[in-house]
Structure 1
Amino acid sequence: MRGTIAAQIFVGLLLIILFSFISQAINLKVMGWFLKTLTDIWVIAFIILFQPELRRLLVIIGRNPFIQKFIKVGIIEAYEEIGSAAAELARKRHGALIVIARAAGIRSFVETGVQLQALVSKALLVSIFNPKSPLHDGAVIIKDRMIEAARCTLPFSHVTRIGEITLGMRHRAGIGISEQTDALVIIVSEERGTISIAENGVIKYGLSAKELVDELKTRLAVPQKSWKNIWRNLKVNE
């Protein structure tokens, strides 16, 4: 049904644009102005109605290996701090949900929390997820070595069980945001004191501190290629 509505809106938009060109060609100024205004409204309505589909399209584009060659992931230098913080939180049995944003923007989720704009550090992350902290509920979102916000609300995954494991709210939220964006998510269980990592809707359980750091190195590392090397690779693939 939604696809049918989208097609109808798109066809309507094309017709309005066509009539707008025709009215300009025959110098119907009032009609041209009216159709141009209607076109602007139509485009805005299309974006509002199909925001989830457009977001998924941007995520797919952002995950493309060719696109990622041009994206600098500034969080690489902060993985040691994040890994150490996760290990400390797991040892203390303090639950945590850390979202590392990459290519796909997650501004709408950042806006649900408390804005921080602070440099990533082990001390700050451990402090945020202290149960006595007013910011410990929800997720921390990190972008380019900066903690953008804390206490953020994330979408839940429809998955409630994986094998014999029943997922709690924190794990479902971590998987949920990884399903909708290309973010990398670190989840610390307060019940079991374990560290997990989620990406593309897939979760990996029971990581040690060293294994987490290795995962961050592997998953967040983006080869630094010069424009000359990228052009050479493109020529080879032609």
Structure 2
Amino acid sequence: MLEIFKIGFLNVTIIDVIDIGLISILVFWIYRALRGTVAVQILFGLMVLIALQFITEAISLKAMNWILRTLTDIWLLAFIILFQPELRRVLTVLTRSKIFRMFVKSKIVQTIDIVVDTAIYFSEKHIGALIVFTRSQNVEITVDTGIPLQAMVSQELLISIFNTKSPLHDGAVVIENQIIIAARCVLPLSTVTKYGNKNLGTRHRAGLGLSEQLDVVVLIVSEETGAISIADGGILELDIKKENLHKVLNSKLSEVSKQQLS
């Protein structure tokens, strides 16, 4: 490999620089997710052990290197066991980063296809529905009002949820990427009761109300008329034509893929 410079007995190549850069980015993401927790101090100790391990390997201190490797393995195992909630936060930061979104965008397109087909079905059958797509803000408060599901989005599941005989049909479904994270969620009602010349029902006020408070996209299907509407940023788009629904939803969910918790 092309050598850039030397530090004492170490030859530094382009690959080494790239490697260090990637590790630095990873450590930064982990630190940002764990900042303000006890786990940061434990993580710092682990980083010191790993650094000493590399140094002892480079200068051929075999016994010391073996001891450090053993300590590192034990430390890492203890870290994983003791700080599972913090590690989940790390994974959340990583999977919702802009770089990760580049790889999961196709999955968002699959979600759009499923939701559009299902919304059209609901419209034709006059089945009321309220579907929330998360964006850049945490929606835990909303999710906590419902029933957690953590299930893959599918037309069959959405139809089952919003079936009037289902105990989950009242309230909203919350979708994050390809996952329905909760159903039967209670949304805050907007104080707006009339939009243009249209009187708003509970579903429309709920969808509009949540979009006024959080950065979400809410799809609403009217049980009475079968009309499909979308609330976004406190603005309600009423009676979206079925042939335009995919285009409208795609543009808004493309924004989700770029903004969501980046």
Question: What is the TM-score normalised by the length of structure 1?
Answer: 0.62
Q: What is the identity percentage for the equivalent residue pairs of Structure 1 and Structure 2?
A: 46
Distance 1:132 1:105, change over 3 A: same
2:229 maps to 1:196: yes
The alpha carbon displacement at 1:127 in A equals 1.3
Bigger CA drift: 145-154 or 206-215?
A: 206-215
2:252 maps to 1:219: yes
Q: Which has the larger radius of gyration?
A: 2
The whole-number CA distance in structure 2 between the counterparts of 1:70 and 1:180 is: 27
The corresponding residue for 1:171 is 204
2:131 maps to 1:90: no
The alpha carbon displacement at 1:77 in A equals 2.9
Distance 1:78 1:224, change over 3 A: closer
Distance 1:223 1:184, change over 3 A: closer
The alpha carbon displacement at 1:76 in A equals 3.4
2:185 maps to 1:152: yes
The whole-number CA distance in structure 1 between the counterparts of 2:219 and 2:200 is: 15
AA at the equivalent of 2:177: D
Residue ranges of structure 2 left out of the alignment (5+ in a row): 1-96
Instruction: Find the residue that maps to 2:181 and give its secondary structure.
Output: strand
Note if contact 1:141-1:149 (Cα within 8 Å) is conserved in structure 2: yes
Q: Alignment partner for residue 119 of structure 1, among 152, 160, 178?
A: 152
Note if contact 2:129-2:220 (Cα within 8 Å) is conserved in structure 1: yes
Residue ranges of structure 1 left out of the alignment (5+ in a row): 1-67, 226-238
Q: How many residues align?
A: 159
The whole-number CA distance in structure 1 between the counterparts of 2:225 and 2:257 is: 38
Instruction: Find the residue that maps to 1:221 and give its secondary structure.
Output: helix
Instruction: Find the residue that maps to 1:151 and give its secondary structure.
Output: strand
Question: What is the TM-score normalised by the length of structure 2?
Answer: 0.57
2:161 maps to 1:161: no
The whole-number CA distance in structure 1 between the counterparts of 2:255 and 2:221 is: 25
Note if contact 1:75-1:143 (Cα within 8 Å) is conserved in structure 2: no
RMSD over equivalenced CA pairs, Å: 2.3
Note if contact 1:69-1:223 (Cα within 8 Å) is conserved in structure 2: no
